Amino acid sequence: MENLTERDIKNLNSKKGLQALLSDETVNVQKAIRSVNYVKNLKRLQKELIKLQEEVIEKNQRVIVVFEGRDAAGKGGAIRRITERINPRHFRIVALPKPTDEERTQWYFQRYINKFPKAGEIVFFDRSWYNRAVVEPVNGFCTQEEYVRFMNNVNDFERMITSSGIKLVKIYMSITKDEQAKRFEEIKTNPLKQWKITPVDQKAQELWDDYTKYKNVMFANTNTDYAPWKIIKANKKTFARVNAIKYLLSRIPYDTKRKV
């Protein structure tokens, strides 16, 4: 048997440890230890998120957290782990569908502004206005003129957001091509997840290099000091979720000594 520390043995003998050990047909001690450590670490970080949210509420702050990344990168899963313990009355998750005919005639940023937070609220965007930086030009959903206009305006737009007092956090979940293909296959064979596959997803592997080109341009042009990007390696979901929470906690000042 592997060399186990006293702490490892204690974790394995816990309820969560025994569940992790028995979750697979073959017993994998190290995997079970990693699972228990992840759950404990996640719980600790979620307590910090509660502290952060309470301060946001008390100080009437407004916070926007943007999650971007390739299809199946784990944006939704990270958002769920961030929000599952905090007060549901003071946050919203925004995942907008394709624009309506009316929205297409409006200023591009307008439908996103309509979802911005009120005082004491955090809004999580599962994809955002950055659709126009990558997804739309790659798939032909916007003209080259519309793309260029967006790239010329987005930094000024975000400067207005942050100068108005809104705290803006931008996170990009990064996965490899092979990992995306693996996740697509898992989704396709899972009847509870098949709804996640869209026509855009089905072309993602074929258009991988095009996505890469536009993604790199996006980072080069929109990684500003007032609204920087955080790229999180997301091939390992648990690692990505923990690091997304850690980054969010580092970007929004709060009293870490607050009782919860």
- Give the C-alpha separation, 126 to 66, whole Å: 7
Indicate the residue type of 186. Answer: E
Q: Kindly report, residue by residue over 76-134, the tens digit of the pLDDT.
A: 999 999 999 999 999 999 999 999 999 999 999 999 999 999 999 999 999 999 999 99
Q: Write down the pTM of the prediction.
A: 0.88
* Number of Cβ within a 10 Å radius of residue 252: 17
Indicate the residue type of 92. Answer: R
What residues pair up with 66 in beta bridges, in sequence order? 125, 170
Residue 124 and residue 93 in contact, taking contact as beta carbons nearer than 8 Å: yes
Instruction: Tell me how many helices (H) and strands (E) the chain has.
Output: 12, 5
Task: Taking residues 18-37, report their average pLDDT.
Answer: 65
Q: Which domains can be identified in the chain, with CATH numbers?
A: 60-251 (3.40.50.300)
- The span from the first CA to the last CA of the chain, in angstroms, equals 39
C-alpha R_g of the chain: 20
User: Quick one: tokens of 14?
Assistant: 């816990």
Residue 82 Rama label (left phi>0; alpha psi -120 to 50; beta) = alpha
Given a cut of 50, whether residue 257 has pLDDT beyond it is: yes
Q: Kindly report, residue by residue over 45-91, the tens digit of the pLDDT.
A: 999 999 999 999 999 999 999 999 999 999 999 999 999 999 999 99
**Which residues neighbour 114 within 8 Å (Cβ) at sequence distance 6 or greater?**
none
> What confidence category does residue 29 fall into, taking pLDDT thresholds of 50, 70 and 90?
low
Listing DSSP states for 66-88 in one string gives EEEESTTSSHHHHHHHHHSSS-G
> What confidence category does residue 249 fall into, taking pLDDT thresholds of 50, 70 and 90?
very high
Given a cut of 50, whether residue 222 has pLDDT beyond it is: yes
**Which residues neighbour 31 within 8 Å (Cβ) at sequence distance 6 or greater?**
20, 24
